[in-house]
Amino acid sequence: MNRYHNQKVVVIGMAKSGVAVAKLLHRFGANVVVNDKKPREEAVGCEELEELGMPVICGSHPEDLIHPGISLVVKNPGIPYEAPPVAKAMELGIPVVTEVELAYQIAKAPLIGITGSNGKTTTTTLVGLILQEAGIPAMVGGNIGTVLCGLAEVAKEDEWLVAELSSFQLMGTREFRPRIGVLLNLYPAHLDYHHTMDEYLSAKCKMFANQTDQDAAVLPYDQPEVLEKCGELSARAYYFSKTRAVPRGAYVDQGTIVFVDGDGQREEIVQVKDITVPHLDNALAAVIVTRLAGADKRSIAQVLATFPGVEHRMEFVAVKNGVKYFNDSKATNPEAASRALQACKEKVVWICGGLDRGIDFRELVPVIQGRVKAVVALGQTAPILLERAKEAGINERIHVDTVEKAVLAASRLADSGDVVLLSPACASWDMFPSFEVRGSMFKDGVHRL
């Protein structure tokens, strides 16, 4: 990080990561300017940064913000590369990175990076809990909520830094190299940002770009198209599969999760019937990661059998009149909703709908056919989802305009022994500031029944 001493650095976008990285660069002697397009009253942290001596510019991106004298631009992951100051920096050949890159540059601890279209938070949480159970020092952060560079500064050489990483974060890396890198799955998502699936995959695969044969890459064996697109990796590959044996990694054999190490030694970990993790592929990936990180079999089995789940991700809410209610508000694409629906063994009253991204949802017709007894839809995509429900032969189809009404309608349609599942298959931004707000409103509605 001494490379930034007395260098001019621009941080674009404040939020938690922007404030944290600005303070970090300031501590390392950089001349930092912070910029946020939001008005000053909405940009939290202005006064704190100004008290440290950093200029903070709010309300616009000034034309002279980026110039040839700038050595580095650190952008908030969500800011598109087409944004004028970012595009100008790239045109001038100025490196543009995200906070994750700087976290790697200062980290003494070895990194575990976990990405994928679905299941990142669950797998990251599982890995942290298993390492804790095994007595292995670890810190968990990144896209899961705690800014990674803050953890990287204090993490010691003998502990693991476990990071959930989005494609937005990974796209802004240059030297980033995790000791263990994980790609859980890949489905169409964030194409409004990445534009094409190839660009989306390229961002995800930056997880492995700088790995060597001393590192491990954990990949989904059941998605051969992803393996093919990842190409030949320098790291040693480990695979997970729900359907077949793998040469190295974890798979299911006659109802038992099995781990195969780098020498081909086979070890039975736990029976599938005994685990509480809703999605088996997340459990399999966590087995590989934690076994490679030194966790013992007992600790892995213990956590997989007692995992309480993660809020808004197949989160059990309550039983009301014999009906189980689950909050899966984080299911912001059809693949995530499909996984949630298939995880339910009972008949389902499905609450769905949200932001319209031009998806036709036809892939969900065979999933809901025979499994879903009623559909309650809201948001921009409600009409098309109700049309798909009609195609699947579902007679009970209701269009509502609030989550509260959705919960009430679902409770009237559900019988004892059924499941009411909020798994929207869509982002929340047409009606809510975040999927967390949507999920919390659902839970409140359930508890008021």
Look up the CATH number of the domain holding residue 327. Answer: 3.90.190.20
Is 229 labeled as ligand-binding?
no
Q: Tokens 């949802």 — which residue? A: 361
Q: In terms of domains, do 323 and 439 share one? A: yes
Q: Is 119 annotated as a binding residue?
A: yes
Cα separation, 6 vs 11, in Å, equals 15
Predicted local confidence at residue 14, as pLDDT: 86
Which ranges of 213-296 does DSSP label H, i.e. alpha helix? 224-230, 280-292
Q: Are residues 329 and 215 in the same domain?
A: no
Residue 98 labeled ligand binder? no
Residue 79 has, within 13 A of its CA and on its CB side, a CA count of 26
Task: At 184, give phi and psi (nearest 5°).
Answer: -75, -40
Query: What pLDDT is recorded for position 39?
Result: 92
The model's pLDDT over 254-273, given as tens digits with 9 standing for 90+, comes to: 999 999 999 999 999 999 99
Contacts of residue 370, defined as CB under 8 A and 6 or more positions apart, other chains included, come to none
Reduced to 3 states (helix: H, G, I; strand: E, B; else coil), residue 10 is strand
Residues 70 and 117 occupy one common structural domain: no
Query: Are both 138 and 287 inside the same structural domain?
Result: yes
SS3 content of the chain, % helix, strand, coil (to 5): 35, 20, 40
CATH number at residue 136: 3.40.1190.10
Q: How far apart are CA 32 and CA 111, in angstroms?
A: 27
Query: Final residue of a domain: which of 65, 96, 127?
Result: 96
Count helices and strands in the chain by DSSP H and E runs: 17, 20
Strands 72-75 vs 138-142: parallel, antiparallel or unpaired = unpaired
Taken in order 308, 314, 317, 323, is the CA torsion positive or negative? Answer: negative
423: which 2 tokens? 């798994």
DSSP state, 79?
A: S
- 165 φ, ψ (degrees, to nearest 5): -130, 130
Which position has the token pair 């993790």?
Answer: 277
Nearest C-alpha neighbor of 259 from the set 308, 224, 302, 295:
295
**Judgement on whether residues 165 and 262 belong to the same structural domain of the protein:** yes
Same domain, 149 and 276: yes
CA 406, 145, 24: angle at the middle one, nearest 5?
150
Q: Which residue positions in the chain have pLDDT lower than 70?
A: 1, 189-194
Contact of 428 with 435, CB cutoff 8 Å: yes
Q: Which two tokens stand for residue 181?
A: 């890198």
Is 121 annotated to bind a ligand? Reply is: yes
Q: How many domains does the chain have?
A: 3
173 annotated among ligand-binding-site residues: no
CATH number, residue 28: 3.40.50.720
SS3 of 186, please? Answer: coil
Residues 165 and 269 in one domain: yes
Q: How far apart are CA 84 and CA 307, in angstroms?
A: 45
Same-domain check for residues 53 and 41: yes
Q: Domain limits at 67?
A: 2-96
Q: Which token pair is 259?
A: 């781990």
* Cα(284)–Cα(259) distance, integer angstroms: 9
**Neighbour-count burial for 227-259, b at 16+ CB within 10 Å, e otherwise:** beebeebebebbbbbbeeebebbbbbeeeebbb
Length of the chain, in residues: 449
- Do 55 and 158 belong to one domain? no
Domain boundary among 81, 96, 111: 96
User: In terms of domains, do 42 and 154 share one?
Assistant: no
C-alpha torsion sign, points 124, 129, 132, 134: negative
* pTM score: 0.82
Residue carrying the six token digits 């990287």? 152
Please write the tens of the pLDDT for every residue from 166-191: 999 999 999 999 999 999 998 776 66
Q: Is residue 116 a known part of a binding site?
A: yes
Which of 271, 306, 341 finishes a domain? 306
**Same domain flag for 133 and 236:** yes
Two tokens, residue 433:
């500031």
Assigned token pair, 3: 């490379």
The 8 Å CB, 24+ separation contacts for 188-197 are 188/333, 188/359, 189/117, 189/332, 189/333, 191/357, 192/357, 193/78, 193/80, 193/167, 193/168, 194/167
Same domain for 57 and 20: yes
